[in-house]
Homo-oligomer: A and B are copies of this chain.
Amino acid sequence: MRATSPHSGEALLFLTDEQLRQGIEAMFFAYRGFTADPDRILQDMSYGRAHHRAVHFINGAPGTTVNNLLDILGVTKQSLNRVLRTLIEDGLVESRVGTTDKRERNLYLTDEGKALERQLSDAQRARMRAAYRSAGPEAVAGFKTVLEAMMDADMRRHYRKLREGR
């Protein structure tokens, strides 16, 4: 039995179950590569992937609030708080009381925080750059199109917003 409907022609060959399965496995293996380099750097320090994510998004949107970060990262307050607390204690992140709304905390990377972010993102970008270069611009465009279509609507909103903000 064919995976797609019986009348689907050659034009939809890329939608067969086998093709989809390949895509699933590609995502799995590629994500491992994607995180491998920063993970390696982090394992010597007392930080993990969660710290990387926090540092990444604070760097990309300096002054962001805790609530906004929670929304982007999709974790619970306690989970983020544990990570944020260590980063603040270690002087990588600065938390300033909001100017307009004093309940909020605006988060910034310190110089030390920026140095770590740079180290991690350099490693991650190097792999990304190599992949992009070997695949070529058209493949990269397709790559982004499919990834964007794969996101939940909420995440797509965040993704686009971050893109605009720069």
Q: A: which residues have CB within 8 A of B?
A: 11, 13-15, 17-34, 36, 53, 56, 60, 74, 121, 124-125, 127-152, 155-156, 158-159, 162-163, 166
Contacts and interface: CB of A to CB of B under 8 A. Distances in A.
Contacts of A29: 147, 151-152, 155-156, 158-159
Identical chains bound together, number: 2
A19 B151 CA distance: 18
A164 B134 CA distance: 23
Q: Is the interface of A mostly helix, strand, loop or mixed?
A: helix
Contact of A124 (B24, B53, B131): B24
Contact of A143 (B36, B146, B151): B146
B147 A32 contact: no
